[in-house]
Structure 1
Amino acid sequence: MGSVTHVPAPPMTRPRLIATDLDGTLLRDDKSVSDRTVAALAAAEEAGIEVFFVTGRPARWMGVVSDHVHGHGLAICANGAAVVDLHRGRRIVQVRELPRETALTVVEELRTAAPDVSFAVERTGGIHYEPQYPQFHLDPGALIAPAEKLLADEAEYADEPVLKLLAHHTELVPDEFLGMAREAAGHHAEFTRSSPSALLEVSGPGVSKASTLARCCAQRGVAAEEVVAFGDMPNDLEMLSWAGTSYAMANAHPAVLAATTHRTAANEEDGVAAVIERLLELPPAG
């Protein structure tokens, strides 16, 4: 029997925008979107509430939601490095790149701090990685070479902007690796994590889910106080702090639970949908 999680009462006024993470938040563990969640998102848009998907995923991995979107066709991907139009073939419409020189500096400094680290380079057209890096079954066309070569001026695909650098370690504890990396190279770029393993995600200076969401909201005249956000991992922290109202999933990382005042049910129990139903005063799904 699944656990029962209390869902606090929502704010008194309806938000103008809902910003939700995907993995561990909107998606079930099998990466599906439940019928209840699809219906709740559609009801939110019908009520005039815009929906943004805000994720660490690249644009090419957005099929999990692009097959279910109605009006909600905007996604903020790669932890804020790309804004994607899901209604136009997952086309990237805005890029906030990680400068190549900055990425090379991070590679150098992390190799010194954690010699067994391995890297991947996420570009607008796909991911490429070092031989030691865990391979992505979803990206069979990746180039495999040392990060320094993948980031070189003369590298294949060098004309494609770098969205983020990924750093993996097989032995370090994830949060300890994050702290070590920030101490070694945090003055060059933004470091975060969303994986249960020791996998760090590195973005350009000032680039995060929160900063790109704030830009998109400003373009629409939406204030932070008019946003409700959902998340579960450290890469959601800035977004949850920026939004006027934020919810941590019951399955969230301890740092996320500590940073938010509202809780909802776990992703496996449709926690996002439960809050939307309360916001819209809809009857709970049976």
Structure 2
Amino acid sequence: MTILDAVTTPDWRPRLIALDIDGTIARMGENEIAPAVRAAIGRAVGHGTHVVLSTGRSLMGTRTILDSLGLENATALCSNGAVWWDTTSASVVKCTAFDVGVVMDRLLGLLPGAVYGAEVTGVGNLMYGRFPEGNLWGELREVGLEEFVAEPTPRLVVRWLDHTPEEMAFRLMDVELPGADWTVDHTIAWLTAGPVGVTKGAELEELRVRLGVEASETLAIGDGHNDVEMLRWAAHGVAMGQAPATVREAADEVVGSVFEDGAAGVLDRFFPG
């Protein structure tokens, strides 16, 4: 039986569910999860399914959601998979970082006036320039360029104030960042860069093998450009209704938006109340 055959059987139910946070189970940048979404996640966990938060958020931003959901014996993939957090031991079990200095050399000339944040895992962020309040989680410390680039980081974020996502994407068209992969958000001019080869899809595949889950037993739900690899990885990839066209095209199904609790509708189908 192929993966497609397995997913289309009436009794198919995922054993590993990867959930993006912002724009999927919570509104962008918020920490509140709608009751219907929360209940649906709880039913999936109650059936013994592995629920994995797979997010571009830093660890500090992800832990708030983990605590809210009360996920136990789980792994969260933060910073697009560069940081793995184990809820059982309350510790980072994997962290992949890259040299932010060579990336900054390229970006500083391309995005004049942008502000930069480098994750300090489990602590917060260093900032080169000041972000608007509420953009970053944890302890924030504004530093000079020399200190900013001194240590590798698993996650570099760039906010180009007073510009649109389209302007940012156009400015960076065909640009390669040494040692890093990157995406631009579809809602604001916000770039996220991580170690080359580290994507939600690649890290989820490694986790799937560790958990002993069949490839045909995987479900993923997301809404952003950084979710494309994850949606393609899953046996059944679901895009949220407000996702841009490139993300919807990567999915097997498109559901209601985050404002309509679209993720709950998907999960309710497999784990009815």
TM-score of the two chains, using structure 1 as the length reference: 0.82
Gaps of 5+ in 1: 1-9, 153-157
Structure 1 residues 44-193: aligned runs within 5 Å: 44-61=44-61, 62-71=63-72, 73-89=74-90, 91-98=91-98, 100=99, 103-124=100-121, 125-136=123-134, 139=137, 141-152=139-150, 158=151, 162-178=153-169, 180-181=171-172, 183-186=174-177, 188-193=179-184
Pairwise CA distance, 1:126: 1.7
CA distance in 2, matches of 1:186, 1:141: 27
CA distance in 2, matches of 1:221, 1:110: 41
Aligned to 2:16: 17
Which digits, 9 at most, give the CA deviation of each residue in 1:128-176, with x for residues without a partner? 1122443547657422123343122xxxxx4xx5111112212443144
TM-score of the two chains, using structure 2 as the length reference: 0.86
Pairwise CA distance, 1:251: 1.6
Pairwise CA distance, 1:203: 0.5
CA distance in 2, matches of 1:180, 1:138: 24
CA distance in 1, matches of 2:184, 2:37: 25
Aligned to 2:37: 37
CA distance in 1, matches of 2:59, 2:207: 17
Gaps of 5+ in 2: 1-6
CA contact (8 A) 1:110 1:184 kept: no
Runs of 4+ in 1 over 4 A off after TM superposition: 135-140
CA contact (8 A) 1:21 1:54 kept: yes
CA contact (8 A) 1:250 1:266 kept: yes
CA distance in 1, matches of 2:76, 2:54: 6
Local SS of the residue matching 2:53: strand
Are 1:202 and 2:199 an aligned pair? no
CA distance in 1, matches of 2:50, 2:250: 24
Per mean C-alpha deviation after superposition, the further-off stretch among 206-215 and 108-117 is 108-117
Pairwise CA distance, 1:24: 0.7
CA distance in 2, matches of 1:187, 1:162: 14
CA contact (8 A) 1:249 1:271 kept: yes
One-letter amino acid matched to 2:246: A
Which digits, 9 at most, give the CA deviation of each residue in 1:159-208, with x for residues without a partner? xx511111221244314423543623345310013462111011011111
Local SS of the residue matching 1:184: coil
Local SS of the residue matching 1:52: strand
Aligned pairs, number: 262
Identity of aligned residues (%): 28
Distance 1:216 1:14, change over 3 A: same
One-letter amino acid matched to 2:129: P
One-letter amino acid matched to 1:208: T
Per mean C-alpha deviation after superposition, the further-off stretch among 190-199 and 74-83 is 190-199
Computed over aligned residues only, the root mean square deviation of the Cα atoms, in angstroms, reads 2.4
Aligned to 1:237: 228
